């Protein structure tokens, strides 16, 4: 059963993520005059599913799509969407590098060996496309240097390149009147490094950039939308771990003990994995 379109607020819709083939959340922001989409999907099939779901809801004047970052699962549906496409300048540069790639098993495995691709993405590309790897990369039409504000008709969106460890080109979309923040994958760790990692420097800069956006709904691309309470917990954990990683100079045991005391509880699996990422980022 494929996930169906969900309505988050009066003007914001989204297609939930699907971990079976690592499909991210796709968003739609409907103004009085135009509808802006957030991310193009991981394949033509994913883009088609989203567009057909939007049609059922009678969402009109779909004119453009913004890409949150260059990773395959967010951009492979761009050609199918056939819309005016925006991204950060850095995202475009990263996508340009992929234009001449082949997507056969051999080519994917070769890039994994070279460290350009990661095994997880290679596996997920195979799972999404099967044997039919007709993947055509489409470049964005317009690039954003730092920040733009778009008027969709009574609905305004701020699109800002915020960076972070996951992908330095990460871009967010804030829907002002609806208090929705599309975060893409920007809060996730870097998965393209030798080990998954967060660095104190990039995490602090990212949290600083995100600090000015207050929302009622925070949409990360590979999970359900977060409430302000859930989001603040997420952000707080990253902020505390920046501090503890520095204080304890990347010492895993000391950081773990200090975090457990700070949170006054036994740490769960997610918290332990997040510590590992900071330790990896400190050592590397
Ligand atoms: Zn990503």
CA–centroid distance, residue 17 to ligand 1 (Å): 13
CA–centroid distance, residue 164 to ligand 1 (Å): 11
**Under CATH, which architecture does the 6-225 domain have?**
4-Layer Sandwich (3.60)
Find, among 100, 245, 68, 236, the residue nearest to 168 by Cα: 68
CA–centroid distance, residue 104 to ligand 1 (Å): 21
CA–centroid distance, residue 96 to ligand 1 (Å): 17
Contact between residue 89 and residue 143 where contact means Cβ atoms under 8 Å apart: yes
CA–centroid distance, residue 261 to ligand 1 (Å): 32
Distance CA 255, CA 276 (A): 10
CA–centroid distance, residue 264 to ligand 1 (Å): 32
CA–centroid distance, residue 131 to ligand 1 (Å): 23
Find, among 171, 241, 172, the residue nearest to 213 by Cα: 172
pLDDT for 2 equals: 58
Contact between residue 88 and residue 60 where contact means Cβ atoms under 8 Å apart: no
CA–centroid distance, residue 100 to ligand 1 (Å): 20
Distance CA 80, CA 173 (A): 22
- In the chain, the largest separation of any two C-alpha atoms, in whole Å, equals 55
Which residues are 229's β-sheet partners? none
Going residue by residue through the chain, which has 284 residues, state the pLDDT in tens, using 9 for 90 and above. 457 999 999 999 999 999 999 999 999 999 999 999 999 999 999 999 999 999 998 888 999 999 999 999 999 999 999 999 999 999 999 999 999 999 999 999 999 999 999 999 999 999 999 998 989 999 999 999 999 999 999 999 999 999 999 999 999 999 999 999 999 999 999 999 889 999 999 999 999 999 999 999 999 999 999 999 999 999 999 999 999 999 999 999 999 999 999 999 999 999 999 999 999 999 87
Find, among 119, 114, 70, 63, the residue nearest to 92 by Cα: 70
Q: Where in the chain is the domain with CATH 3.60.15.10?
A: 6-225
């Amino acid at each position: 059963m494929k996930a169906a379109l969900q309505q988050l607020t009066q003007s914001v819709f989204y297609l939930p993520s699907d971990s079976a083939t690592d499909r991210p959340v796709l968003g739609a922001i409907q103004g009085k005059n135009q509808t802006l989409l957030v991310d193009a999907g991981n394949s033509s099939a994913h883009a088609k599913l989203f567009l057909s779901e939007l049609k059922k809801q009678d969402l009109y004047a779909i004119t453009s799509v913004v890409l949150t970052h260059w990773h395959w699962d967010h951009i492979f549906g761009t050609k199918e969407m056939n819309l005016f496409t925006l991204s950060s300048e850095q995202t475009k540069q990263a996508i340009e590098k992929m234009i001449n790639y082949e997507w056969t098993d051999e080519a994917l495995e070769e890039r994994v060996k070279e460290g350009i691709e990661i095994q997880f993405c290679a596996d997920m590309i195979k799972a999404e496309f099967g044997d039919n790897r007709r993947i055509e990369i489409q470049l964005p039409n317009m690039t954003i240097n730092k920040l733009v504000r778009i008027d969709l008709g009574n609905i305004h969106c701020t699109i800002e390149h915020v960076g972070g460890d996951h992908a330095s080109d990460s871009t967010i979309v804030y829907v002002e009147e609806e208090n929705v923040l599309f975060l893409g994958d920007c809060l996730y760790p870097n998965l393209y490094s030798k080990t998954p990692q967060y660095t104190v420097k990039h995490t602090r800069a990212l949290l600083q950039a995100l600090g000015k956006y207050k929302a009622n709904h925070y949409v990360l691309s590979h999970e359900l939308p977060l409430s302000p309470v859930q989001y603040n917990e997420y952000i707080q954990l990253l902020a505390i771990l920046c501090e503890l990683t520095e204080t304890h100079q990347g010492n895993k045991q000391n950081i773990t003990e200090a975090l457990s005391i700070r949170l006054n509880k036994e740490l769960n699996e997610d918290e332990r994995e997040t510590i590992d990422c900071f330790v990896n980022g400190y050592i590397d």
